[in-house]
A and B are shown apart, each in its own frame.
Chain A
Amino acid sequence: MSKVLIQFAHPTHSKSNVQKTLEKYARKVKGVTFNDLYEHYPDLFIDIKREQQLLTKHDIIIFQHPFYWYSSPPILKQWQDLVLEYNWAYGPKGHALKGKKIFNAVSCGGGRDAYTSTGYNRFPVGQYLLPFNQTAYLCRMDYLPPFVVHETYTIEDYTLKACGEQYAELLDALVNDRIDPAELAGVEYLNELFPH
């Protein structure tokens, strides 16, 4: 059994469609803690102690957010700047997060083909996420491939529903340690582990 912590960041939650659906499915999974950052820190004044305690108590961390300007909404950056303290998360004495797993669960407006060398976004999603990847590395964490929902503006209801179920299956598998590390090596997105 692993404890999963979702660090959720959405500044205009009431206008969201995809993220709200993912949230709905995620909240139903046992063993998952859903931490709504904008709800807790509406003015970006993050409680460092509380956040560090949450991290300590969990084994798998997920940054769930829309893929704003090829990155996350600002609160996640603020969160990293403040919470991942020197000699706590990194540095010679920073072992608090060592060995924990971490990945991003994002929703993008563009299709998957847009995120290729020939598409208009030119680079794959994984490359845009490199700063998260490296941050995890510096904190001695294990960075997994992302979970991605594409074409958020045009997505059909049944596709969205399928994505929600997929996300729930993924979370459940993570909680119950059913993910084979060997399988992870071969996938670009975690979605691929649960084909629909």
Chain B
Amino acid sequence: MQQSFFFQAMIYLASAVVMVPIAKRLGLGSVLGYLVAGVIIGPAGLKFIGMEGQDIMHFAEFGVVMMLFVIGLELEPSRLWRMRKSIAGLGGLQVGVTTVLVAGVGMLFGISWKEALALGMIIAMSSTAIVMQTLNEKGWLKTVAGQSSFAVLLFQDLAIIPMLALFPLLADHAGVADSHAGGGSLVSVLPAWQQAIVVLLSVSAIVLTGKYLLRPVFRMMARTALREMFTATALLLVVGIAVLMTSVGLSPALGAFLAGVVLANSEYRHELESSIDPFKGLLLGLFFISVGTSIDFSLVVSKPLLIIGLVAGLMLLKMAVLFVLGKIFEVRNAQNFIFSIGLSQIGEFAFVLLSFSVQEGVLGKEVSDTMTAVVAISMAMTPLAMMVNEKFILTRFCLVSAGLQTAQRPSDVEEEDNPVIIAGYGHFGNIVGRFLRANGVEATVLDNDSDNVDFLRRMGLKVYYGDATRYELLDIAGAGRAQMIIIAISDEEKRLELIETVKKHFPHLHMLVRSTNRNDAYDLMNAGMMHIYRETFDTSLRLGVDALKLLGHRAHEATRMAKTFFVHDERTLKHLSSIRNDEEYIHAARQHMEELEMIMQADRDAVNLNALAGWDRKAEAETA
């Protein structure tokens, strides 16, 4: 019974379903929830899962591949190119310096240089899964810390390739397995220059396929109007890349990332993302759970000091290296704490490298077992460390002194009674804020980019750092006394979360909400929003007016036409949103096409689209 697939699936899912919401609720983030779930169902807890957790982990690592694919999708090639300096510089130095330092310390403790070097490389790795997931959850990906973390993680992924090649050379003991089974690549028997050619060929195959072949394929799949076909194609793409990459000895995550970048500019980007996303999320969750199950508590209990010392020492060492590098690369203040603490754990790839090094005979079984526990615990510590960082260190830097100092500075209290709260002060929110300020309306600002907060504070604005969806922050910011909240966060899901929080705790607040596009506007309407502002709508129309003017239309007439169109489109939006609710099952791609058709039909039918009605006696006379 215990062995049946369904039973296992039930255990994994149930543990996640119970623990993750609890962790989220406590503000610990989903990663820690999964890890704890893993510990509970694992050998140390309820013993539902035995050592087969390890196999599950290898399977679930595929979630990391998917995650990098999705990250790639969001990263245009041009942006990647702009990041080349921090990837090579920051990433390269992090891996290099950490490896050398760890190896040096290891040799001081009397470990042979070969073992020490191998351990150094293993420990230099950080966890893409944990870090990216956490940054994403907190909406920090676009901040300096987020970008720097990403650069380092990307370099680490690249560094795995030479590491895997280097490990056999470090073998000292006789290997447990004497073949190259661990490498598992088809081309490892080839001489080096041929391997290089094969690698180059497969990378260009991915790029060319992504650029020329995939678009027609996706179009065909979209035309079948079967959602599952699109999903299947997307999955096939990622799995295919993983197989190809593994067979030529490259990291599958890297290949998937590359494919993602190539597809970043394609019109199917969002479709791909939404098809892969649920799989990615579940597999990553599974991965974190299996990390939780793999923590060998009997080992921890038998050598507690050694394990705890190793975890603390290694994390502090990594943190110190990252912090110094962050300083050099101008990751400032609070951002540097996010960056260095975030990346301080040892990553999932260490598991692979550890088992590989045992096979290759680089490390002994005992060292490897100890290290496995250390790696898993360091991963489990990351969300906790991040939370401590957020609660105690970041608040020092960022949270406005108001909470602590109001007693001494009564003026702060007055400012907290600002009638307006602006959540999100990026390029959208800051225009609103500046406009209000120019007209004597002061607003309290919430933002989760500490650099931005720093800057705005220096400009004399009332700014609170943190996640605006949290009740506590809204409360400190004076949501209880304000009249309205302007929701200008760029993240759609965060906006909806914030709306729910406001509805629940501050129902008196007017909510003025930014929306990305039509679909997002529908979601906001469903959430009961009355004031919705599509971020590109007005601008596009202004451009349209200028286009008409350049084509010889009179300026005032063109402006009136735009206004007529504006009113008409807002009306269509409301109308279509009521229809849309009934047909949510329609395949998203098809729905989009159909909807565009409906919108354009409505444009043609609109009797009121004659912007010059009322002035135009002739036209009226003819129809009369």
Contact = CB atoms under 8 A, between A and B. Distances in A.
Interface of A: 43, 45, 48-49, 81-83, 85-87, 91, 93
B621 interface: yes
Interface residues of B, number: 12
A48 B615 contact: no
B614 A82 contact: yes
A87 B620 contact: yes
Contacts of A85: 613-614, 620
Give the one of B564, B614, B620 with max A CB within 10 A: B614
A171 B88 CA distance: 80
26 contacts: A43-B563, A45-B560, A45-B563, A45-B564, A45-B567, A48-B613, A48-B614, A49-B608, A81-B614, A81-B615, A82-B613, A82-B614, A82-B615, A83-B614, A85-B613, A85-B614, A85-B620, A86-B617, A86-B620, A86-B621, A86-B624, A87-B620, A87-B621, A87-B624, A91-B621, A93-B624
A82 B567 CA distance: 17
Given A45-B563, A82-B613, 15 more contacts: A43-B563, A45-B564, A45-B567, A48-B613, A48-B614, A49-B608, A81-B615, A82-B614, A82-B615, A83-B614, A85-B614, A86-B621, A86-B624, A87-B620, A87-B624
A60 B186 CA distance: 92
A45 B562 CA distance: 11
A49 B614 CA distance: 11
Interface in B539-573: 560, 563-564, 567
Contacts of B615: 81-82
Contacts of B621: 86-87, 91
A49 B608 CA distance: 9
A44 B607 CA distance: 20
Interface of B: 560, 563-564, 567, 608, 613-615, 617, 620-621, 624
Nearest to B620: A86
Nearest to A88: B620
Contacts of A87: 620-621, 624
A45 B557 CA distance: 12
Contacts of A49: 608
Nearest to B616: A86
Nearest to A79: B614
A152 to B, nearest CB: 27
Contacts of B608: 49
A48 B617 CA distance: 15
Contacts of B567: 45
B181 to A, nearest CB: 74
Q: Which 7 A-B pairs have the closest CB atoms?
A: A82-B614, A86-B617, A87-B624, A45-B563, A86-B620, A48-B614, A85-B614
Contacts of A48: 613-614
A48 B612 CA distance: 11
Give the one of A48, A85, A93 with max B CB within 10 A: A85
Contacts of B620: 85-87
A94 to B, nearest CB: 10
Nearest to A46: B614
A45 B611 CA distance: 10
B537 to A, nearest CB: 16
Nearest to B617: A86
A91 B620 CA distance: 11
Nearest to A84: B614
B435 to A, nearest CB: 15
A150 to B, nearest CB: 34
A83 B620 CA distance: 13
B557 to A, nearest CB: 13
A82 B613 CA distance: 7
A86 B622 CA distance: 11
A164 B615 CA distance: 36
Nearest to A82: B614
A53 to B, nearest CB: 14
B114 to A, nearest CB: 76
Nearest to A93: B624
Contacts of A83: 614
Contacts of A81: 614-615
